[in-house]
Structure 1
C-alpha cells in the first residue's frame, strides 16, 4: 500500500507488491480448487461476471453465485445483514477471492489483484489510507481479521462499496487528529516485522514521508528530505521518536526556521538539519547576489548613468528655452 518499501527493501516499489511490478495483473493467481488469473487488464469495478482478475473462476464449482455477488456488490438472498446493512458472508467471500493458497491472509500476489480490481495504483495514497482503516500490521498483507474488521469499519462488503468509500476515507484523513493517527500508523506499517525492526531505513522513511504528506505537504518537507538524501553516511535510520517529532516540527516551526531553538527538546537530528538548511540558504543568497552583480558590471552601468545625466541636461535646456 502506497509503496511496498519495507518487504522488498526497495522504496520505489509498490505497497501491494514486494517486487514492485506494476504489471502484477498479468501474473497467475492460483486459488484452492484450481483455475488461474486471466491475463487481460480490465477495469474491475465494471467487470463482466466470470472475468475478474483475481481468479474467481477457481471457485465457480462450489460457490459461484455467492462469490460473484460478493465481488460485484450484487445482493444474494441468503446473506445475513448486520446492523449497518453489511453482509458478513459477502465480506468473507470477498476475502477468499484474494486469499493466499497456503496462508489465511491476502499476501503480495493477492494484494496486487485486489488493487487492480479496485482500480487503484498500489503506490498511491489511497491504498495507504485503506491499510490504515484496516489497521494492517504489515505491508503487502491483510490477515482475515484485518480484512473483515476493516470492511466493517468502512461499511463496505463489496469492491464497489470499497471504491465508493475512498472519498470519505480521504476526507477523514485530513482531520487533525485522524491525520496524526495515520501519520503514526505509517511508521509502524513501514517496519519489517519479520526482522524485528525498530527504526525505518533512511530511504524507506523518505518514501513514506512523501506518501503520508500527499494531501497536506508542509513547506519544509522537501528541504528535510533533501537533507536526509544528501547525508546518507550520517543518517542510517529514522527512529520512532524522530518520525513522530517531525510532525510536531512542521506544525510548530515556521518555514523560515526563525523560531527554532536548540534549547527545546527536539531530536539532535533536527539541530543538524536546521544548521544545514540555514547554511544552504545563505549560500543560495550569496550565489543570487553574485549573479545579480554579474548582470550589472561597471562597464555596463556607467554608460547608462552617463546617458541618464545627458538626457537630464537636455531636459533642463529644453525647459529653460521655454
Structure 2
C-alpha cells in the first residue's frame, strides 16, 4: 500500500515489484482449499472512466460475486444499519485474499488497486489505508478490510471509488490530517522486524506522500537536507516525525522565528543551521553572477548617473 516502501524496500517501486511484471487486470486469482478450486477474475467493472482517466477492466465473473463487486442487488445479502451488505464485503475480501493467509497481501493489494483504477503510489491509497486503519503496508487483514468498508460506508468497488472525494476532503481537516500524519509513521514501520524508526529513504518518500494535498514551503529544503546528509541521518524517530508537523506550522519560511532554546529535536537545529548557510551561499553566488553580467561600459550605476547629469547640464547651459 502507498508505495509499498516497507515491504519492497524501495521507495520508488510500486506494488508487486518483487514478483516482476504483472499481466494487469487480466490475471486471475486461484485459491486452493479443501474443496474444489475456485477461480476469481479481477473484480472490476465500471461505466466509462474514473476521474484519473484509467479505463476499468472487463469482468468475467458471475453473480453473486460480481454483484458484490459492483454493488448490484442480490438476494439474501443481510444489510446493516447503513444499508451495507456484509456478504458483499466478505466476497470482495475473498476476491483478493491470499490463498495461504487470511489477509490481502502484496499481490492481492496490487490487483485491488488496479481494479480501483488507482496508482498504488498515490495519496488516495494512503488515505484508504488510514481509513482502514491498516497496521502494515501491502496488507489488509480481514478485520481491517471489513471494518474499513463499514467506516467509509462502501461494500463494492464502485462504492469505494465514489468515497474517495469524501475521504480526501476529510483528510484536509486539521485534526484529521494530524491523525493521518501520525498514522503514516506507524504504517511505514516494518512490524515483522520490530522497527521503531523509519529508514531515511522511506521517511522521505512518506513525507512527500502525506503532504500531497498541502505541501509546506520548507518541505523540499528539509528533504534535500536529509538526502544530502545520509551518513549522519540513518533513521527518523517517531518524535522527529511528529515534531516536524509542528515545525511546519510554527516556523515561518524564512526560519527567523526558530529558536534553539525551544524543545525542538537536535536534528532541527542542524537543519536550520544547514539551511541558513545554504541560503547565504546562494545569495553570494547570485550577487557574483549579477556582478559578472555588469561591465563598466554597460551597467555601471556611476557612469549612467554621470552621463545623465552631464546631459542635463548641457541642456541647462544651452538654454541660457
User: Normalising TM by the smaller chain, what interval?
Assistant: 0.7 to 0.9
Change (3 A) 1:54 1:109: farther
Change (3 A) 1:27 1:313: same
Distance 1:297 1:61 in 2: 71
- CA offsets, 1:3-33, max 9 Å, x none? 111011111112576568586546553223x
Change (3 A) 1:159 1:287: same
Matched position secondary structure for 2:77: coil
Matched position secondary structure for 1:219: coil
Deviation at 1:73, TM superposition (A): 1.2
Higher alpha-carbon deviation: 200-209 or 300-309: 300-309
User: Is the contact between residue 4 and residue 20 of structure 1 (CA under 8 Å) also seen in structure 2?
Assistant: no
Deviation at 1:199, TM superposition (A): 0.3
User: Is the contact between residue 132 and residue 185 of structure 1 (CA under 8 Å) also seen in structure 2?
Assistant: yes
Matched, 1:316 2:314: yes
User: Is the contact between residue 48 and residue 56 of structure 2 (CA under 8 Å) also seen in structure 1?
Assistant: no
Query: What are structure 2's unaligned runs of at least 5 residues?
Result: none
Higher alpha-carbon deviation: 266-275 or 306-315: 306-315
- CA offsets, 1:195-246, max 9 Å, x none? 0000000000000000000001000000000000000000000000000000
User: Is the contact between residue 196 and residue 238 of structure 2 (CA under 8 Å) also seen in structure 1?
Assistant: yes
The two structures have a TM-score, normalised by structure 1, of 0.87
Find the counterpart in structure 1 of residue 62 from structure 2: 64
Distance 1:54 1:65 in 2: 28
User: Is the contact between residue 102 and residue 142 of structure 2 (CA under 8 Å) also seen in structure 1?
Assistant: yes
Question: Aligned Cα RMSD in Å?
Answer: 5.3
User: Is the contact between residue 86 and residue 157 of structure 1 (CA under 8 Å) also seen in structure 2?
Assistant: yes
Matched, 1:279 2:257: no
Change (3 A) 1:19 1:311: farther
Distance 1:11 1:303 in 2: 52
Distance 1:52 1:221 in 2: 31
- CA offsets, 1:100-124, max 9 Å, x none? 1011000111101100110101110
The two structures have a TM-score, normalised by structure 2, of 0.87
Query: What are structure 1's unaligned runs of at least 5 residues?
Result: none
User: Is the contact between residue 202 and residue 236 of structure 1 (CA under 8 Å) also seen in structure 2?
Assistant: yes
Alignment length (residue pairs): 320
